[in-house]
Amino acid sequence: MRQKIVAGNWKMNKNLDEAKELIKGIKKEVQAGLEDGTRVIIAPCFVNLHYAAKKTKKSTIEVAAQNMHQANSGAYTGEVSADMLTNLGVNIVILGHSERREYFGETDELLAQKVDAALENKLEVVFCFGELLEDRKSGNHFKVVENQLKKALFHLQEADFKNIILAYEPVWAIGTGETASPEQAQEIHAFVRELLTKKYGVETANAISILYGGSVKPANAKEIFSKPDVDGGLIGGAALKAEDFAAIIKSI
């Protein structure tokens, strides 16, 4: 069954004191009956995951990490493993975000390893993909998206996709205030579902949730979410305010 999902990627924002406030605010809004069966996920930074997981344990809010290392343990200074996350009660990880690709050199090949490690450790993966502005301008966006998905995910078995959520995030729309039009989002989402149908069959393709991310805010969420192949959103800036995040959840 395809799920409606709204996830907040807090990126490198909110210290513990601020995270406490934001979680309190989101809990209040979500408990006030806004979610309507929609999965609500928040992704604070590593150091606040323990607190977030504990504080949301009895609520319907789920907690995700923004990254993890592909090895189970070892001499990787500064890194965090899948096991460390699940041990905290964090069962979801965002992988492939364009900021990880751009600033930390994460390649599709590395992401394939991270996806494998996450799935082996029973984590659910929110896998991000999306083209750069120059790809879209040159009309290469379909090819770029196809390559990203093929290289990082198409070695998986059909059953693995039960634990994958996809997030289309065109890089030119992230944090820029410029959103892909609902039609542009729908076009890519439908294209991705078609790729999945060809490789894994229509059942898998229809069961997977594909989120849109890139300057989603209360004012544009409803229109984007109204598209048939858009199953929710991965929200950056607007997830940092409880009221805005709640308004976006309500738009689904």
Query: According to the annotation, is 251 in a ligand binding site?
Result: no
- Asked if 112 contacts 76 with a C-beta cutoff of 8 angstroms, the reply is no
Pairing of the two strands 5-9 and 39-43 = parallel
> What radius of gyration do the chain's Cα atoms show?
17
Among 90, 123, 235, 246, binds ligand 13P (CB under 6 A): 235
Query: According to the annotation, is 11 in a ligand binding site?
Result: yes
3 state SS of 210: strand
Q: Taking contact as CB under 6 A, which single stretch among the options 55-63, 85-93, 180-188, 210-218 is the one that binds ligand 13P?
A: 210-218
Q: Taking contact as CB under 6 A, which single stretch among the options 73-81, 146-154, 155-163, 211-219 is the one that binds ligand 13P?
A: 211-219
Can you tell me the distance from the alpha carbon of 191 to that of 7, in angstroms, rounded to the nearest whole number? 22
| Alpha carbon separation from 183 to 3, 5, 116, 192, 223 (Å, rounded) | 21, 19, 32, 14, 10
Q: Is 234 in the site for ligand 13P (CB under 6 A)?
A: yes
x-or-dash string of contact with ligand 13P, 170-209, rule CB under 6 A: ----xx----------------------------------
Instruction: Give the residue numbers of the binding site.
Output: 9-11, 175, 215, 236-237
The residue ranges that bind ligand 13P (CB under 6 A) are: 9, 97, 169, 174-175, 213-216, 234-238
